[in-house]
Amino acid sequence: MTNLAFALAATIKHDGHGGIADLLSTPAEAAAWLAGHRDLVAEVLGGRLPAPLSGKNSALGAGLFPESRADAAEGVWPELVRIRRAVRALFARAVAPGPPSKADADRLMDLDAAVRMVNRAAERLGFERLEWPEGGEPVVRRAARTEDPVALLIGAVGRSAIDFLAGPDRTRLRACPAARCVKYFLQDDPRQTWCSPACGNRERVNRHYRRRTAG
Ligand SMILES: [Zn+2]
From ligand 1's centre to the CA of 102, what distance in Å? 11
Residues that place a CB less than 5 A from ion ligand 1: 176, 178, 181, 183, 195, 199
> Ligand 1 centroid to 125 CA: how many Å?
34
Helix axes 76-95, 27-36, angle to 10 degrees: 70
Handedness of CA 179, 184, 190, 192 (dihedral sign): negative
Please name which of 59, 60, 30 lies closest in space to residue 45, comparing C-alpha atoms. Answer: 60
Residue 122's pLDDT is 95
Dist. CA 185 → ligand 1 center (Å): 8
Cα(108)–Cα(184) distance, rounded to whole angstroms? 15
Predicted pLDDT of residue 127: 83
- pLDDT on residue 51: 42
139 within 8 A of 46, measured Cβ to Cβ: yes
**Can you give the pLDDT at residue 132?**
93
For residues 122-133, average pLDDT: 89
Distance 175 CA to ligand 1 centre (A): 8
For residue 111, the CA-to-ligand 1 centroid distance in Å is 25
What lies within 8 Å, CB to CB, of 45 at 6+ separation is: 60, 125, 142, 152, 156
pLDDT digits (tens, 9 = 90+) for 84-123: 999 999 999 999 999 999 999 999 999 999 999 999 999 9
How far apart are the C-alpha atoms of 92 and 88, rounded to whole Å?
Answer: 6
Centroid of ligand 1 to alpha carbon of 10 (angstroms): 11
Most confident region among 39-48, 53-62, 72-81, 103-112 by mean pLDDT = 103-112
Taking a C-beta distance cutoff of 8 angstroms, is the pair 179, 14 a contact? no
